[in-house]
Amino acid sequence: MLELRHLRTLAALHETGSVSRAAKRVHLTQSALSHQIKALQTHYRLPMVQRRGQSVELTDAGKHLVALAETVLEAIQATERGLAKISEQASGSLRIALECHTCFDWLMPLMDAFRQHWPDVELDLVSGFHSDPIRLLEEGLADVVIGSENKRRRDIAHHPLFCFEILAVLPPDHALRRKRILQAPDFSGMTLITYPVPEDRIDLIHHVLKPAGIHPERRTAELTVAILQLVASRRGIAALPSWGLKNYVEHEYVIARRIGSSGLWSNLYASTLKETAARPYLRDFLATAKNTCFATLEGIVPLE
């Protein structure tokens, strides 16, 4: 019999185009999904997926169920928001502190949607740079911190968002363009274009260059597009999350290369006080954040 888990599974399968990726997405085993899909297919006597070499494609039947999943899961979210209103837990504040500048890319549309859904929640961005953003939570100056920190602390809950790869960004005619993978020594003598934050907040420096004893020059820019402009006009190279690069790479504006043989990866968490984690609007924020990120951002991987 059809259950919500089947709908969630098919939605994930539709997004990811692979059983094992979908399994990570819904925090189950690949085997579990395989069984689920098989059960669906025997129940409806219809194939739901069609293997196309390495990627699986949904059949028409599968797409019908995906469409169902979208309406059903949205309807559920909507009434759960309604229930939160009834229980009078629909108001409060959601002040977001961002550790990672690139996150503006996906945070903006998310905030727009959130404002619609929770008109009584005071939505805000905490501006400025903070050496210990988690402390903002304890000081009551922010309600969520979006960053890569996940050290266990009293009263703090780190909600895993996703895992993403940081790629080196070079101008198309750069001397290193032939190398598919860049290693630490490749960066010596280069100018690194970064956001204006301390060195140990930049993963490339903190985890790759500093351990290798390499200290390239730095130049900073506030906005991602500005960094890309500088790279394209050969003022230096940058290291940015893979998801925002696709368009620029496709237009051969810049090229992107892996850093280290297994890549440079970073995790993103949404950290809150444990008490605020229970609030319905916070839970809804986290859920839709993950949903929209996995739906729109390419190359990101579920965490935990």
Partner DNA sequence: AAAATCCATGAATATGGTTCATAATTATGC
Partner DNA sequence: GCATAATTATGAACCATATTCATGGATTTT
CB-wise, 49 or 98, nearer to DNA? 49
On whether the CB atoms of residues 170 and 231 are closer than 8 A, the answer is yes
115 binds, among a second copy, DNA, none (CB under 5 to 8 A by kind): none
19 binds, among a second copy, DNA, none (CB under 5 to 8 A by kind): DNA
CA dist 288 and 15 (Å) reads 15
CB-wise, 155 or 298, nearer to DNA? 298
CB of 264 to DNA, least distance (A): 17
The reply on whether position 31 binds DNA by CB under 7 A is: yes
The reply on whether position 82 binds a second copy by CB under 8 A is: yes
28 binds, among DNA, a second copy, none (CB under 5 to 8 A by kind): DNA
Tell which positions 40-59 bind a second copy, by CB under 8 A: 44-46
CB-wise, 234 or 274, nearer to a second copy? 274
On whether the CB atoms of residues 16 and 10 are closer than 8 A, the answer is no
The reply on whether position 287 binds a second copy by CB under 8 A is: no
The reply on whether position 56 binds DNA by CB under 7 A is: yes
CB of 52 to DNA, least distance (A): 7
Q: What is the SS3 assignment for the chain?
A: CCCHHHHHHHHHHHHHCCHHHHHHHCCCCHHHHHHHHHHHHHHHCCCCEEEECCEEEECHHHHHHHHHHHHHHHHHHHHHHHHHHHCCCCCEEEEEEECCHHHHHHHHHHHHHHHHHCCCEEEEEECCCCCCHHHHHHCCCCCEEEECCCCCCCCEEEEEEEEEEEEEEECCCCHHHHCCEECHHHHCCCEEEECCCCHHHCHHHHHHHCCCCCCCEEEECCCHHHHHHHHHCCCCEEEEEHHHCHHHHHCCCCEEEEECCCCEEEEEEEEEECCHHHCHHHHHHHHHHHHHHHHHCCCCECCC
In this chain, which of 50, 55, 76, 181 binds a second copy, going by CB under 8 A? 76
141 binds, among a second copy, DNA, none (CB under 5 to 8 A by kind): none
51 binds, among DNA, a second copy, none (CB under 5 to 8 A by kind): DNA
CB-wise, 9 or 242, nearer to a second copy? 9
Contact region with a second copy (CB under 8 A), list: 13-21, 39-47, 133-141, 166-174: 39-47
CB-wise, 43 or 215, nearer to a second copy? 43
In this chain, which of 15, 17, 57, 80 binds a second copy, going by CB under 8 A? 80
On whether the CB atoms of residues 73 and 3 are closer than 8 A, the answer is no
Which residues would be at the binding site for a second copy (CB under 8 A)? 2-4, 44-46, 60-61, 64-65, 67-68, 71-72, 75-76, 79-80, 82-83, 86-87
